[in-house]
Chain A
């Protein structure tokens, strides 16, 4: 079963860091790959680089800088892992550098969409 781990940080002015280092993430990444559970994943650049697109009923595009206002939490990156059940997924989430220091990890099962052939 595939789960997406979404690494969330509180939205703060400037750096949204929780104290963990680049090396912590490298180590975590290696642990997942060594365990044979890592499917895919990326860190994301910070919110100052974000652009939001909406398409209205007439097909008109609205492009705005940044995310919607009142963002309390910022998605800083994600990993998709393939593990037998939620307990194992929660354990990997808890071991990540993104679970401490006020940050949190959201664990969401990936929907397996069946395509009729």
Chain B
């Protein structure tokens, strides 16, 4: 049993690239996520048996789709109730969307965009949208999705089942929103992909600071979205942002797994090809009227990536971009980041004054980076007792081990009466 499960897992891995596309085509055709999932898996398993014998077909995707469709039709013949339900679904889908757009390749249409909008539908719980996107568009198994979001397998399985049931029973449609709806609907799709990235970039808890494979899944999904929505500049902004941050992944962790902050990173180890790609996307995202929040965040990331070191970073420009971002996303976390940038431009006193203005914001309560940022500024001002208290507050809230270790080192540097050892972190 365990062997069969492992084999099925490797099949999933081999065909991950095809899986989302295949699944989306089947959902479009049959309107039923469960049926699509089952026959997609069957087709992939059939391919693994047949292809080593018959050779890989010239159009593997079309082969998989044809095989899966046949299986679905077989299943519908056997199950009359299901067939009746699907016939009704199909008729109503046509009523809702009478003129489907013409496909460039009618044999192998790309229906993934509709599936993105279903998985990130605002009628689904926000916490499940990233999970559904990973499961159905990135093709991860339920176990892998559970690991990605650090929840037990059974919990994730239950969440996915519940979300699928809502999609089916409330009839959340598989459709790309019209041009008038798109501005309202795209943000949840981008947020779902970004939530996968941030979970990979800064795991909320656990032994590792970052999980690069998860960040790479998010980048892969954003690349698919970029191909499917080439005119949407926020998609370019999101992809650019993730590339510009992910480009620092190697330098972000020390040899012992310790966190290395931006100030201390060896910038020669950044992925410069990835930075170039990200910078080109920033241009796309910011060219034209009314850029969006992902484009602006990508521009901030680009300013960091372009600078030779912290001192030569264009801090006035970083602050100006945070000002713009704050008008789009009036979030205290953005205000916190802006305060840190102001501290770099005008000195720690100025940053500290801004942070004190955020002290009573309930949305920052429980967020370890608020006291941690405050502690760093107090330390730079030589106010060591206050800095130590703030580091202790941050330690009470921090989730990952490497960040905890970093805060402990900083705490030691302000309590040992010795020189500031914060700058002797592993580089």
The 10 closest A-B pairs by CB, nearest first: A84-B96, A85-B173, A84-B92, A85-B171, A109-B170, A86-B172, A1-B171, A86-B170, A87-B173, A84-B95
The closest CB in chain B to the CB of A90 belongs to B123
Per-residue contact bits, chain A 77-117, to B (CB 8 Å; 1 contact, 0 not): 00000001111101000000000000000000100000000
Chain B residues touching A, majority SS: loop
Q: Known contacts A86-B123, A86-B173, A109-B169; can you find 19 more A-B pairs with CB under 8 A?
A: A1-B171, A84-B92, A84-B93, A84-B95, A84-B96, A84-B171, A85-B92, A85-B93, A85-B96, A85-B172, A86-B121, A86-B170, A86-B172, A87-B172, A87-B173, A87-B177, A88-B96, A90-B123, A109-B171
Chain A residues near B211: list those with CB within 8 A. none
Per-residue contact bits, chain A 14-25, to B (CB 8 Å; 1 contact, 0 not): 000000000000
The reply to whether B173 and A1 form a contact with Cβ atoms under 8 Å apart is no
Please report the C-alpha to C-alpha distance between residue A85 and residue B177 in the assembled complex, in whole angstroms: 13
Please report the C-alpha to C-alpha distance between residue A88 and residue B177 in the assembled complex, in whole angstroms: 11
Please report the C-alpha to C-alpha distance between residue A89 and residue B390 in the assembled complex, in whole angstroms: 50
Chain B residues near A109: list those with CB within 8 A. 169-171
Q: How many residues of A contact B (CB 8 A)?
A: 8
The contact sample of 6 A-B pairs, CB cut-off 8 A, is A85-B93, A85-B172, A86-B123, A86-B173, A90-B123, A109-B170
Chain B residues near A85: list those with CB within 8 A. 92-93, 96, 171-173, 175
Please report the C-alpha to C-alpha distance between residue A1 and residue B90 in the assembled complex, in whole angstroms: 12
Interface residues of A (CB under 8 A from B): 1, 84-88, 90, 109
Contact of B92 among A1, A87, A90 (CB under 8 A): A1
Chain B residues near A86: list those with CB within 8 A. 121, 123, 170-173
Please report the C-alpha to C-alpha distance between residue A1 and residue B169 in the assembled complex, in whole angstroms: 10
The closest CB in chain B to the CB of A83 belongs to B96
Chain A residues near B92: list those with CB within 8 A. 1, 84-85
Per-residue contact bits, chain B 150-194, to A (CB 8 Å; 1 contact, 0 not): 000000000000000000011111010100010000000000000
Chain A residues near B170: list those with CB within 8 A. 86, 109
Shortest distance between the CB of B97 and any CB in chain A (Å)? 8
Please report the C-alpha to C-alpha distance between residue A72 and residue B123 in the assembled complex, in whole angstroms: 22
Please report the C-alpha to C-alpha distance between residue A84 and residue B174 in the assembled complex, in whole angstroms: 12
Per-residue contact bits, chain B 83-110, to A (CB 8 Å; 1 contact, 0 not): 0000000001101100000000000000
Shortest distance between the CB of B124 and any CB in chain A (Å)? 10
Chain A residues near B93: list those with CB within 8 A. 84-85
The closest CB in chain B to the CB of A108 belongs to B170
Chain A residues near B96: list those with CB within 8 A. 84-85, 88
Shortest distance between the CB of A94 and any CB in chain B (Å)? 10
Please report the C-alpha to C-alpha distance between residue A90 and residue B321 in the assembled complex, in whole angstroms: 36
Chain B residues near A87: list those with CB within 8 A. 172-173, 175, 177, 181
